[in-house]
Amino acid sequence: MAKTKKTEAKAEEVVETTAPPAEETTNPEAQQAIEQLTVNDLIVIKNVFDVCSQRGAFKADEMQTVGGVYNKLNNFLQAVVPQPAEPETAETPAAEEETQGES
C-alpha cells in the first residue's frame, strides 16, 4: 500500500506542475489581446512558402514535409477563398444581337 500512496502523490505533483494557472484562462483582457489568424494571414504564409522554396531555404530531406503542408494550405485556401468570376467577353452580346436581327 505504501507504493500506491507514493505513486498517487507523484501523479498529483505532475498534474499540479503541468496545469496552467487558472487566472490566465479566466482573464477576459488576456483573451482579447490574442490576435486571430485570418485567411489573409494564411495567404501570406503560402506566399512565404513559395519565396523560401524558390530561394532554396529548405533542405532536400525537408521538401516532402514542407510540400505536404503547402499542399494542405493551398487546398484549404482554394476551398475557402472564392475564385474570381471570369469576365464575360464582348463577343457574347454581339452574337446574341446578330441572331436577333436575322429573325
Average pLDDT, 10 consecutive residues per value, the chain (103 residues) = 48 46 58 81 95 94 94 95 74 56 55
Inside any domain, residue 1:
no
Number of independent structural domains in the chain: 1
- Can you give the pLDDT at residue 94? 53
CA distance 49 to 64: 13
Residue 30 cell numbers, joined: 488576456
Q: Is the dihedral of CA 53, 54, 55, 56 positive or negative?
A: positive
Write out pLDDT tens, residues 66-86.
999 999 999 999 999 887 777
Domain residues for the domain of 66 are 36-81
Q: Is residue 14 part of a domain?
A: no
In a domain? residue 98: no
Say if 5 falls within a structural domain: no
Evaluate whether 80 touches 39 at the Cβ level (below 8 Å).
yes
Q: Is residue 47 part of a domain?
A: yes
Cell of residue 66, nine digits: 514542407
**Three-class SS of residue 83?**
coil
Whether residue 90 lies inside any domain: the answer is no
